[in-house]
Structure 1
């Protein structure tokens, strides 16, 4: 989704000349020696056809990818979750993004290298074999919107809207847990949608037998920060709570995809959980973690379930350090529309969505450390109009993404 606001650019923002970090207030200082910078970034690098992204990244000529890379080079996360980056089984797209973009200094920014990468299949674009959108037909041939709506997660082909973890620290790959195939119906008290006309289940029994909770996937990725216990990066990208009907199936699914992590880090609530290897249970008590991703839910505004993300933000084991930016405040004021009716702090916004009609700018991207990881700093990379780096985010049409990179520095455990 994109903002319909009039394009407003300062003259200095039109020139893509090298900008030292000290010239931009949106560029954070490096994390301390005993700190780790975790970040999430919905890069909007999905493409409409399989293989198209890797083909685009095979040359250094993609303007969007250059801008995405430059943002990452300015913020310099140690551990980065990337959402909306098409998955391919060989990891070709990620390799090309590293070699042709991140490893190349963009507009004077220093190159950045991520020697450790984790990527895995996601549910988007994977045929379910059943009718999930209620039109009476189970579409199994990829490439059409009807197929995408009957896939386990909305996608025109397997791997569209995928995700990946990029890290400067080793990833403990033999301890990664994935929950791609966990069935929605296996969550106790799940908000499975009902047909408002009949009061019965919106989904057929056949659909409930196979329907997975994750629209992409849920990953527990342990990161070895070099000081003993690994930090568990809990990564996901729930479905947007829109694009459905009066049954509000996507609103319900978004709520439960977010609830999954709240249950996972609560021992008494996690017994029902099983991973793709069949191992049951949630996170070990006391294990440090960071929940990250585009959760597609704002605690105060937008179309989501009002309790979707609040359960995480208020969780006794989670600290919400409220990363913010002046650019988000300026955008809401400048663009108006739905933003004028919001009750949440626009400085916390992380996505620039349609203002009229539409939900306006929202806080949907999160980096939430556990209480065992003291936070030292945080922010949202959203430059103000008079910042030289505004050219990297801009207003619609966006030169990078309609989302902003969100980062938090935490003390190494």
Structure 2
């Protein structure tokens, strides 16, 4: 019988207010909030959706070491430069100045602030990266012709990565994202429209309207930053994803964060392919000092894979 595979995503706070500060925190001897929660959860594959990126993966290497000391070994990691803090040279927020955090491809005070990373017990392979897709080029895009940066604005505020996890029981594809909050703008609802399209990107891929559909069992995983029933935003987007015929929802209606201003809401998701059997799922309590978000985990059983062993040769005649 195949073993279960635990997927998890967490919008824990592994971001700092300046470049190099996360590296400094992880390299020091002081406790780092959230590490105990990760060790206790023991996910086989973990997507972090709020972690600062550096080109040498120094922070990720230090995180691997800190978790190894707590008994959690992640031999494989994946991170690529996100759109957060990626300079455009344009005044995208219309405030008359360039170079601010809202003038970047994705909000960020510096390049790579609050990006994404995947840590895994099993080998990872990049299948496709749609982070460079222009917002206007998404099928059924909600971008308007008069939106600032219409010619250069990427859809992904952080990233959209399609990764493959190679386990002893077979392959599993991850369709990852960390969408922009659908608030903090004006009546033009630019953030709301962009969030809507970020949430729906993988539905277009699954349906064959964009990119390359996954040819292995898969899961949509990450921070949609949108509740299907509560709060601001175009709620039809997660509603559409939750009823997609290829996906199942192991935690219907389960809040993943509680904000003082809005109360409990569901913003982080693991939505497995219907080919996969769900053996368990849950949301943890927030880790002290690591923000208000709980960690979302789902235990999966991969479908039986065809044997890779060669067919036995027939016995000689006679």
- Compute the TM-score of the two structures, normalised by the length of structure 1: 0.71
What do you get for the CA RMSD once the two structures are aligned? Answer: 1.6
Note if contact 1:184-1:190 (Cα within 8 Å) is conserved in structure 2.
Answer: yes
- Aligned counterpart, 1:103: 68
> For 2:146 and 2:24, how far apart are their aligned partners in 1?
40
Note if contact 2:3-2:169 (Cα within 8 Å) is conserved in structure 1.
Answer: no
Higher helix share: 1
1:287 deviates by 2.4
Matched, 1:215 2:157: yes
- Aligned counterpart, 2:316: none
1:189 deviates by 2.2
Matched, 1:43 2:3: no
Matched, 1:128 2:88: yes
- Aligned counterpart, 2:143: 192
CA deviations on 1:228-253 (whole Å, 9 max, x unpaired) are: 4x211111100011111111111100
- Aligned counterpart, 2:23: 54
Matched, 1:72 2:72: no
CA deviations on 1:127-182 (whole Å, 9 max, x unpaired) are: 11222112233x13xxxxxx10100000000100011000011112xx43111210
- Aligned counterpart, 1:148: 101
1:406 deviates by 0.3
Q: 1:119 aligns with which of 74, 79, 87?
A: 79
Matched, 1:86 2:47: no
> For 1:151 and 1:252, how far apart are their aligned partners in 2?
17
Note if contact 1:45-1:86 (Cα within 8 Å) is conserved in structure 2.
Answer: yes
Please list, as runs of the form range in 1=range in 2, the aligned pairs for 1:284-299 lying within 5 A after superposition. 284=214, 286-299=215-228
Q: 1:317 aligns with which of 241, 246, 265?
A: 246
Runs of 5+ consecutive residues of structure 2 not aligned to the other structure: 304-318
> For 1:254 and 1:60, how far apart are their aligned partners in 2?
38
> For 2:26 and 2:180, how far apart are their aligned partners in 1?
26
> For 1:399 and 1:85, how far apart are their aligned partners in 2?
15
Note if contact 2:182-2:192 (Cα within 8 Å) is conserved in structure 1.
Answer: yes
> For 1:310 and 1:60, how far apart are their aligned partners in 2?
44
1:98 deviates by 1.8
> For 1:307 and 1:251, how far apart are their aligned partners in 2?
12
> For 1:376 and 1:266, how far apart are their aligned partners in 2?
26
Q: 2:197 aligns with which of 223, 236, 256?
A: 256
Q: 2:167 aligns with which of 217, 225, 239?
A: 225
- Aligned counterpart, 1:240: 181
> For 2:123 and 2:32, how far apart are their aligned partners in 1?
30
Note if contact 1:202-1:247 (Cα within 8 Å) is conserved in structure 2.
Answer: no
1:49 deviates by 0.4
Higher strand share: 2
Give 3-state SS (helix, strand or coil) of 1:185's partner: helix
> For 1:98 and 1:401, how far apart are their aligned partners in 2?
21
1:43 deviates by 1.4
1:73 deviates by 1.2
- Compute the TM-score of the two structures, normalised by the length of structure 2: 0.91
- Aligned counterpart, 2:279: 376
Note if contact 2:179-2:198 (Cα within 8 Å) is conserved in structure 1.
Answer: yes
Runs of 5+ consecutive residues of structure 1 not aligned to the other structure: 1-31, 106-110, 141-146, 194-200, 271-280, 324-344, 383-391
Q: 2:256 aligns with which of 333, 341, 350?
A: 350
